[in-house]
Amino acid sequence: MGEQVTHRKVALVTGANKGIGRGVAEQLAGLGMTVLVGARDPRRGEEAAAALRAGGGDVHAVTLDVTDPVTVREAAEQVEERFGRLDVLVNNAGITGSGQVSPEDAHDQVPSSVDLDMVRAVFETNVFGVIAVTNAMLPLLRRSPAPRVVNVSSHAASLTITSDPEGPFAALLPSAAYSPSKSALNALTVHYANELRKDGILVNAVAPGFVDTDSNAHTGFLTVAQGAAVVVRLATLGADGPTAGFFGEEGPVPW
């Protein structure tokens, strides 16, 4: 298989068996890339990969739980053995910490009464998991002629937007878990970008917008395809593209 696809760019998308991740995987496959669907559940990952293959994509499932170092290491080994390099890493896997409700509507995230174990769990996936996967894949990304890393963030990560008493989030409940985890992810994005800038590895954060997915109980108004589009754009930047940025479909998002 490796010989058949070495001419294609290889992309890994974490949390790609559903939602925005799956949409990103589908669009990258549509651009002719070999796409690895990272999923915690092997069955769900394979079902998603099979469906995307049925649509004509060169798509393969990879068992990957970003909070499990064993699966992270094994995923990197699989990419090494099958393809020898990685061109695109999309760190999409994330949790809200509030079940099937929008994090902004979650009473259990109000800072003064939040459960610290829940906060730790959210950061474990949304921040520490990104570090684990990125570091495991960096040796493979360095072998790419045009490596790109995209971290899927949120408009809720923006301190500028969320601190505005007249802003779009003013009526929503404060969050001590999800929103701060995405703010931390943005900070992490900048520091990875600064470290890797000299190596030509472009690293950016993306806010897909309020997309209709399981994570917000399907209350979003954007389609998965619309949310995935900006992620794909940053995953396919040219050599003169930005790094250390935060972007939405509307353009740069304020920190």
- Residues whose CB falls within 8 Å of the CB of residue 29, separated by 6 or more in sequence, listed in order: 35, 52, 55, 56, 57, 58, 59
Round to whole Å and give the CA distance between 193 and 196: 5
**Active-site position among 9, 18, 182, 192:** 182
Residue 92 identity? N
- Residues whose CB falls within 8 Å of the CB of residue 197, separated by 6 or more in sequence, listed in order: 243, 244
192 is known as an active-site residue? no
Cβ atoms within 10 Å of 191's Cβ, excluding its own: 11
- Residues whose CB falls within 8 Å of the CB of residue 61, separated by 6 or more in sequence, listed in order: 36, 37, 39, 42, 45, 46, 48, 49
**Active-site position among 9, 18, 178, 198:** 178
182 is known as an active-site residue? yes
- Residues whose CB falls within 8 Å of the CB of residue 246, separated by 6 or more in sequence, listed in order: 153, 157, 158, 186, 189, 204, 205, 206, 207, 252, 253, 254, 255
H or E, element range at 13 = strand 10-13
Four-point Cα dihedral 142, 145, 151, 155, nearest 10: 150
Residues designated catalytic: 178, 182
